[in-house]
Amino acid sequence: MLSRTGPARTPDFHFGTQFRRAVSDLTGVQKFLRGDLDTFSLPDLLQWLEVSRQSGRVTLSHGAIRRSIDLKEGKIVFVSSTRPEERLAAHLVRHRILNSAEAYTSLAENLLSGRNLTRIILDRGLATRKRLAWAVEGLAVEILLASFRDKGATFEFDPSISTEDILQIQLSLRGQVLALHGAKTADELPGSPPGSADPRAESSAQDQLGPEAAADTFWAILELTSGSESTPGALREIFAEFQGFVAEFRRRLAGPFRFAPIYADTSVLLRRALRQGSSDEQLIQISALDPFLTLNILSFANTLSTGPEPIATPRSAASAVGPEAFRTFLDFSSRREAPQTSPALPLERVIRASSISTAVASARVARRLGQDEETAYTGGLLAPLAAYELLQALLAVGFEPGAFRAGVLREYRSLCGSLLARRWGLPEELAALLGSNGTVTGQSPGLVKLVYSASLMVALEGIGCELESEDPELVESAASLASDTGLLSEIRHDTDQLFEILGLP
């Protein structure tokens, strides 16, 4: 459906009857447009915006993928995408306009300061305006034509967003020309490039929070928590709380991507270390004390990753992006004006304690089993974040603690972790851990089995993916590790040291 407001006027150009009627009352008026591209074609939309000389931003949404088209007086001046291979920085590296280090450094400033990436590149003298304009125009054509593959995509046009014609490319693709090229592209190209996130997975996940699915989930949780004996009035109250939670959870999942605010004390440590010229190794060690910063670093590094090996630890991330980009990213992350998380907040305090204790235990277990300690530590550090957005949503709506709320946590934890991993572009082994349904078997990924064993040695306080197993071999192996007093002593000693540094109880 197309949303519209404003007085009716008649356009002075000719489109299909349905589209013409839908937008006829918007011509010449700065109003917000929303609709779906199965009903209203992208060529028609862009042609109308061009003919009526509109300025603003068109956002195309297809599952987890967002593509933005900036217009100035009807002319396309910039196009961007959340799909890794369609991002400008990746495009510039692919066409050898920037090297990887230059792209990462520019991208770090762009993502954390909000400055336009093309402006940063020009100000740093990394490319000429002419060459950059050529690259942006080529990427714009690629993104626009790729949009024809998307079935079930939606669009929004927001004229209130200020757009800037930095490169003066003023790309103009008439609707008819775009339609011809787009139809050809749709016939020749597969639905999704290799390695791309499947937007259908995102849509399926969002469907689990739809009205019908949510209602089914409500009754299923109620039955499991013996709530069927509640009075009608109590049931209405619980259902109202549940509906509020689902709405808040959907809102959080639908919001734009932003890096997670890191802990305030981490910012202090980073600023001091950067000021003193500390080594990359020291910076990596500081990052390893903050699950939010570690999550940000991995997400940033995987943004342009094209190598066969996934970037799954802060150390490999620092190596991939290069020293300058790594320090630039930490510098912008730790500035006083950057958003920060208070380590004194109850939920954030529990998250950090669980992250550190699980990370230490995972690393120690990995050493005992001859597996990679850094990957294990990173997995343990991030595992409690699987339920973070879920818990935030529950707290935001004032969901009363109790058996039913615990059931909601169990039901939605896997969904929350999966969406988090997908949104942040985490490699497969970390995504499998955060998105685990909690049941560990012999076929589970190695990192999941390892963190399961480590989690039996620490108190997670109901945070994270809460792994459990009925596999006799896994249970016996984990029990054997948990009974190793020497191993337990090492874990307790290392955890206590870190807790003392961070001021945790």
DSSP reduced 3-state for 77: strand
Residue range 23-35: mean pLDDT, rounded: 57
Over residues 437-451, the pLDDT tens digits come to 889 999 999 999 999
3-state SS, 87-135, equals CHHHHHHHCCCCCHHHHHHHHHHHHHHCCCHHHHHHHCCCCCHHHHHHH
Q: Among 306, 325, 341, where does a domain finish?
A: 341
pLDDT band at 485 (very low <50, low <70, confident <90, very high): very high
Same domain, 362 and 442: yes
The mean pLDDT of the chain is 81
Q: What is the pLDDT of residue 103?
A: 92
Query: Pick from 302, 319, 341: which residue ends a domain?
Result: 341
Highest mean pLDDT of the ranges 194-203, 209-218, 299-308, 323-332: 323-332
pLDDT at 169: 57
Q: What pLDDT is stored for residue 406 in this prediction?
A: 86
Residues 298 and 205 occupy one common structural domain:
no
Q: Give the mean pLDDT of 44-60.
A: 85
Average pLDDT over residues 323-340: 94
Q: Name 63's Cβ contacts closer than 8 Å, sequence gap at least 6.
A: 197, 198, 199, 200, 201, 202, 203
* pTM of the predicted structure, to 2 decimals: 0.80
In a domain, 187, yes or no: no
- Over its C-alpha atoms, the chain yields an Rg (Å, rounded) of 25
Ranges 68-82, 123-137, 162-176, 468-482: which has the least confidence:
162-176
The token duo for 91 is 């495009």
When pLDDT is averaged across residues 114-138 and rounded to a whole number, the result is 88
Tell whether the torsion through CA atoms of 421, 323, 377 and 461 is positive or negative.
negative
In a 10 Å sphere around its CB, with 0-12 CB exposed, 13-18 middle and 19+ buried, how is residue 149 labelled? Answer: middle
Same domain, 382 and 471: yes
Q: What percent of the chain has pLDDT over 70?
A: 81
pLDDT score for 266: 96
| β-strand pairing of 340-341 with 262-263 | parallel
* 3 state SS of 80: strand
Please give the span between the terminal C-alpha atoms of the chain, in angstroms, as a whole number: 53
Question: By the 8 A CB rule, do 294 and 375 touch?
Answer: no
The answer to whether residue 62 is domain-embedded is yes
Burial status of residue 371 (CB atoms within 10 A of its CB: 0-12, 13-18, 19 or more): middle
Residue 208, in any domain of the structure: yes
Q: Which residues contact 251 (CB under 8 A, 6 or more apart)?
A: none
- Span 487-491, average pLDDT: 93
Residues 201 and 163 in one domain: no
Count of helices and strands (H, E) across the chain:
23, 9
Are 157 and 206 contained in the same domain? Answer: no
Q: What is the dihedral sign for C-alpha 255, 288, 428, 188?
A: positive
Tell me the mean pLDDT in the region 220-236: 76
CA distance 118 to 125: 11
- Specify which of 32-36, 87-91, 197-201, 325-329 reaches the highest per-range mean pLDDT: 325-329
Residue 117 above 60 pLDDT?
A: yes
Do 377 and 448 lie in a common domain?
Answer: yes
39 assigned to some structural domain:
yes
Please indicate whether residue 312 or residue 208 has the higher confidence score (pLDDT): 312
Let me know whether 52 and 127 are in one domain. yes
**Quick one: 262 and 398 in the same domain?**
no
In a domain, 1, yes or no: no
pLDDT-based confidence at 189, cuts 50/70/90?
A: very low
My answer on whether 388 and 494 are in the same domain is yes
Spatial separation of the C-alpha atoms in residues 434 and 421, rounded to whole Å: 7
In the predicted model, is pLDDT for residue 29 greater than 80? Answer: no
pLDDT tier at 78 (50, 70, 90 boundaries)? confident
Residue 475 pLDDT: 92
Asked which of 341, 372, 393 is the last residue of a domain, the reply is 341
Give the pLDDT of residue 443: 92
Note whether 175 and 230 are same-domain residues.
no
**When comparing pLDDT for 304 and 276, which is higher?**
276
Domain count for the chain: 3
492 with 463: CB under 8 angstroms?
no
Region 60-77: mean pLDDT is 82
> CA-CA distance, 252 to 238, in Å (whole number)?
21
Q: Which domain holds residue 307?
A: 258-341
With respect to residue 420, please indicate whether it lies within any of the assigned structural domains: yes
- Claim to verify: residue 41 and residue 115 sit in the same structural domain: yes
452 and 311 in a single domain? The answer is no
In sign, the C-alpha dihedral spanning 235, 236, 237, 239 is: positive
When pLDDT is averaged across residues 332-358 and rounded to a whole number, the result is 93
The arithmetic mean of pLDDT across residues 259-279, rounded, is 95
Residue 9 lies in a domain: no
* Res 302 pLDDT > 50: yes
Residue 286, in any domain of the structure: yes
